[in-house]
Amino acid sequence: MKKGFLLSFLLSFFFYTSNAQLLGYLDLPVVGEQWVEYKDTIGANINITAAGPGQSWNYQNSFTVHQTNNIVFQNPNTVPSAIGSLFPQATLVTSGPNPGDYTFYTSNFNGLYVDGYYYDAGVDFFGQTVHDMNYSNDILNLPIPFEFGNVVQNNAIFAFTYPDPNFLPDAIIRVTKSNFQDIEIDAQGSLITPFASYSSTIRAKILSTKNVLVEVDSFGLGNFTYVNDFPEPTTVQYQWFKNGPNYLVMSVQLDEFNNVSNAQYYNAPGVVGLADTEQALVFDIYPNPLNTNDKLYISIKNQSDDQNEIFMYDVSGREVLSTTANNSLIELDTHQLNSGMYYVKINNQKQSYLQKVIINKQ
- The domain that holds 317 is classified in CATH as 2.60.40.3080
- Residue 4 CA to residue 27 CA, distance in Å, equals 27
Quick one: average pLDDT of 231-241? 94
Quick one: average pLDDT of 344-353? 70
When pLDDT is cut at 50, 70 and 90, the band that residue 154 belongs to is very high
The number of residues making up the chain comes to: 362
More confident residue, 209 or 347: 209
DSSP state of 307: P
Residue 159 has pLDDT above 90, yes or no: yes
Residue type at 145 in one-letter notation:
P
Residue 17 has pLDDT above 60, yes or no: no
Which of 213, 237, 271 marks a domain boundary? 271
DSSP state of 83: H
* Nearest residue to 179 (alpha-carbon basis) of 140, 127, 227, 214: 140
Instruction: Write the pLDDT tens digit of every residue in 47-106.
Output: 999 999 999 999 999 999 898 888 888 889 889 999 999 999 999 999 988 889 999 999
Residue 14 lies in a domain: no
Which of 271, 289, 322 marks a domain boundary? 271
Predicted TM-score (pTM) of the model is 0.72
Coil, helix or strand at residue 289: coil
Q: What is the pLDDT, as a whole number, of residue 96? A: 86
Residue 232 lies in a domain: yes
User: What are the φ and ψ backbone dihedral angles of 27, each rounded to 5 degrees?
Assistant: -90, -10
285 with 247, same domain: the answer is no
Q: Who's near 293: CB < 8 A, 6+ residues apart?
A: none
Radius of gyration of the CA atoms of the chain, in A = 23
169 with 283, same domain: the answer is no
Angle ∠(315,336,111) on CA atoms, nearest 5: 30
Kindly report which listed range (33-42, 210-219, 342-351) carries the lowest average pLDDT score.
342-351
Q: What is the pLDDT, as a whole number, of residue 299? A: 83
Task: Tell me the pLDDT of the chain averaged across its residues.
Answer: 84
DSSP state of 257: T
Residue 275 has pLDDT above 70, yes or no: no
Give the range of the structural domain holding residue 166, as residue numbers without chain letter. Answer: 24-271
Strands 67-72 and 295-301: unpaired
The gap between the terminal CA atoms of the chain, to the nearest Å, is: 9
Kindly report which listed range (110-119, 264-273, 342-351, 352-361) carries the lowest average pLDDT score.
264-273
Quick one: average pLDDT of 101-122? 94
Residue 150 has pLDDT above 90, yes or no: yes
216 with 294, same domain: the answer is no
Residue 56 lies in a domain: yes
- Residue 81 CA to residue 83 CA, distance in Å, equals 5
Q: What is the pLDDT, as a whole number, of residue 158? A: 95
- Residue 118 CA to residue 100 CA, distance in Å, equals 8
Which of 271, 298, 315 marks a domain boundary? 271
Task: Write out the H or E segment, with its range, that includes residue 185.
Answer: strand 172-192
